[in-house]
Amino acid sequence: MAEQCSHLDQVRKVKPRTPKGCEECLKANMKWVHLRLCLSCGHVGCCDNSPGKHATKHFHDTQHPIIRDFDPGDDWGWCYVDKLMIEPAPKAK
């Protein structure tokens, strides 16, 4: 595991594509536990505690490395590639 995320240069200023929930869960009428925002494209997906695990699936489909928690009041990110928690969540420069 990396000690520092090596993908911070890929963080973009994104607008959530579905600000009210997980894109895939909304389409399939599924429920989610927590939401994650892709910091490369704005995809909103559900966490790995949710049945769909759509945020992780999005990473596997796109290789977009960094997400942030999309729940109100939380401020942390995760790099899938480096397997690293980032606190506070990274912001676009």
In a domain, 80, yes or no: yes
Q: From the CA atom positions of the chain, what is the Rg in Å? A: 12
In a domain, 2, yes or no: no
Strand order in the sheet with 84-86: 44-46, 35-38, 66-69, 77-79, 84-86
Instruction: Residue 40: give the domain boundaries.
Output: 8-86
Q: Domains in the chain: how many in total? A: 1
In a domain, 1, yes or no: no
pLDDT digits (tens, 9 = 90+) for 34-92: 999 999 999 999 999 999 999 999 999 999 999 999 999 999 999 999 999 999 999 98
CATH number at residue 77: 3.30.40.10
As to burial, measured by CB atoms within 10 angstroms (0-12 exposed, 13-18 middle, 19+ buried), residue 30 is middle
pTM for the model: 0.94
In a domain, 66, yes or no: yes
In a domain, 63, yes or no: yes
